[in-house]
Structure 1
Amino acid sequence: MKKLLAFSLVLLLIGSSLFFIVTNNSSTQPQTQQSSDIQEPNPAPLIVENKVAADLNSSPAAPDQAEQLVVIERTDWKLDQPLRTQLTRLKNRADQGDLQTAYSLAMNLRFCSMAPLDETDLDARLQQAYQYKDDGVAIADIKERYEFCAGVDQQQRDEFYAYLETTAKAGYVYAQEEMASVTPELFMQLAGATELERGAYIQKRNDFIQLQLSLLESASQHGSIKALIQLSNMHHSQNYGDHGRAKSYALNQLILELADDNELQSRYSWFVQRRQSELTPEQIEQAQALSQQWLAMIKANGTLYLP
């Protein structure tokens, strides 16, 4: 009986040892394998990357520095003091070639071009706003513009265009964008060309439109999404040369690739899909090639101006 009990105890100890070995192996081995498969993620670099480069590059390696775009932050051009108190200083700096100051001066003068000239003009505009039962927003805007622009006469206000055009031709992207907002009719009025003979009038007007197009193209090739949008709209109207719809399609593709705004993405995805039905396969192929050419120029310039 004692021998039987001793033998049973030995079997029990052997079984416990085997269970401990099997359990220990099964619990440790998968942990070792899992830890060898997981790697700590690399921290994201603090740079602005062009997402187009990431889409085109299938390699997991870091994108080429040449394909990274620097986002240029927009600055507020509005002055915090009445324009008349700073006009001389701004003009002196602008005339010395300070493009940022010249742009700010142009924008503030243009802001004043829509302000009342004197108290009589102010009273007339306020009376009109009261008649329309304005909720106060327009009235406050009229008063703010008048106080900011008081003392700056009409001739000085009209000088906004000269500063804007000079700055745009010198390559200042924001001024190039803004040139698109000047209508041909306003330009002809500011240039004193409204009484020209018909042929001369049309020629001068067309020259201005060509200037607008060239400045917008320059801004676009420096990564201005605002300029790309304006160019796309102009070409889609088919009033600015041949192959307008194809050019608009190419520009819409660029906007889609560069913009990170959800609303713009949604709008221009719809535009691209709709335009596909208006173009032949050959036109679409040509437009895509044009889009890639412009994208290469934007990358070479290395900047991105968000709207």
Structure 2
Amino acid sequence: METFEQVLQQAYNDGESDRFISRLRERFDFCQGISQQQRAQHLHYMLEAADAHYLPAQEIVGMVPTEAYMRHLGYQDLPRDEYIKKSRAFHRQKINHLKDAARRGSLKSLGHLAYLYKNQKIPDEKMSLALALAHLDAGLYFTDDNKIYEHFSRQKERLITQASASELAFAEEATQELIQAINQHGSIYPVMDEKHGRKGYY
């Protein structure tokens, strides 16, 4: 069975559109092939580890679709207002984990945040395009992987054509702030898997 990362990587390799990839993310049901109880237990463990600032767990939690989180923990039948409140709380939680991981050198989190900013999936951010550029630029600064560099570069080229002068200036400042934060932490976490050494970029 293909993993989410493999399906996503194939979509990038095939040159699929951003809209296609966005819909792919929303539809993909993580942790397929295991029971509801196992999924819920796994999520609880990952959330606890992420809350303890364990970076790999923060990366995992940050990639969990909010709809999947609600479904796997049995929240899909909550009253509407309660459902919205809980889903928004989880969305904020996973964004915070991604931000923390990115500032500590997670290339996967930098890339995924760029995707989320680009598609305006992070609430209350007025400079989403600029922040997407900043996270791509920080990833470009630190990565030594040619495929990741090429992918981030392509995404950056697309966004630059849409950015205003003020957004470009903001992006430059935000990039330097990210680079400084990562340098202070002193480590870079590449995009890895056990079999091939590399995984998808977002």
TM-score by length of 1: 0.50
**Residue from 19, 30, 33 that aligns with 1:114:** 33
Larger radius of gyration: 1
Relative distance call for 1:234 and 1:157 in structure 2 (3 A) is closer
1:207 aligns with 2:89: yes
1:223 aligns with 2:105: yes
- Alpha-carbon distance between aligned partners in 2 of 1:263 and 1:193, rounded to the nearest angstrom: 39
Residue 46 of structure 2: SS of its match in structure 1?
helix
For the 8 Å contact 2:99–2:113, the answer to whether it is kept is: yes
Residue 252 of structure 1: SS of its match in structure 2?
helix
- Alpha-carbon distance between aligned partners in 2 of 1:293 and 1:245, rounded to the nearest angstrom: 16
**Residue from 22, 32, 46 that aligns with 1:164:** 46
- Alpha-carbon distance between aligned partners in 1 of 2:131 and 2:73, rounded to the nearest angstrom: 31
1:263 aligns with 2:147: yes
For the 8 Å contact 2:129–2:167, the answer to whether it is kept is: no
What is the percentage of aligned positions where both structures have the same residue? 26
1:197 aligns with 2:70: no
- Alpha-carbon distance between aligned partners in 2 of 1:200 and 1:157, rounded to the nearest angstrom: 22
Tell me which residue corresponds to 2:135. 251
- Alpha-carbon distance between aligned partners in 2 of 1:248 and 1:156, rounded to the nearest angstrom: 35
TM-score by length of 2: 0.74
- Alpha-carbon distance between aligned partners in 2 of 1:271 and 1:203, rounded to the nearest angstrom: 33
Residue 168 of structure 1: SS of its match in structure 2?
helix
Tell me which residue corresponds to 1:184. 66
Please report how far the alpha carbon of residue 263 of structure 1 lies from its aligned counterpart in structure 2 after TM superposition: 1.3
For the 8 Å contact 2:39–2:72, the answer to whether it is kept is: no
Equivalent positions of 1:25-44 (< 5 A) are: none
Higher relative contact order (CA 8 A, sep 6+): 2
Relative distance call for 1:156 and 1:281 in structure 2 (3 A) is closer
**Residue from 148, 169, 173 that aligns with 1:285:** 169
Equivalent positions of 1:45-194 (< 5 A) are: 114-115=33-34, 154-194=36-76
Please report how far the alpha carbon of residue 276 of structure 1 lies from its aligned counterpart in structure 2 after TM superposition: 1.4
- Alpha-carbon distance between aligned partners in 2 of 1:157 and 1:279, rounded to the nearest angstrom: 41
1:233 aligns with 2:152: no
Q: Which runs of 5+ in 2 are unaligned?
A: 1-29, 192-202
Tell me which residue corresponds to 1:100. none
Residue 180 of structure 1: SS of its match in structure 2?
helix
* RMSD of aligned Cα (Å): 1.7
- Alpha-carbon distance between aligned partners in 1 of 2:148 and 2:51, rounded to the nearest angstrom: 28
Residue 304 of structure 1: SS of its match in structure 2?
coil
- Alpha-carbon distance between aligned partners in 1 of 2:65 and 2:84, rounded to the nearest angstrom: 14
**Residue from 144, 147, 157 that aligns with 1:273:** 157
- Alpha-carbon distance between aligned partners in 1 of 2:101 and 2:145, rounded to the nearest angstrom: 19
- Alpha-carbon distance between aligned partners in 2 of 1:278 and 1:287, rounded to the nearest angstrom: 13
- Alpha-carbon distance between aligned partners in 1 of 2:182 and 2:142, rounded to the nearest angstrom: 10
Q: Deviations over 1:126-184 (max 9, x none)?
A: xxxxxxxxxxxxxxxxxxxxxxxxxxxx5345300110000001010000000123221
Paired AA for residue 33 in structure 2? M
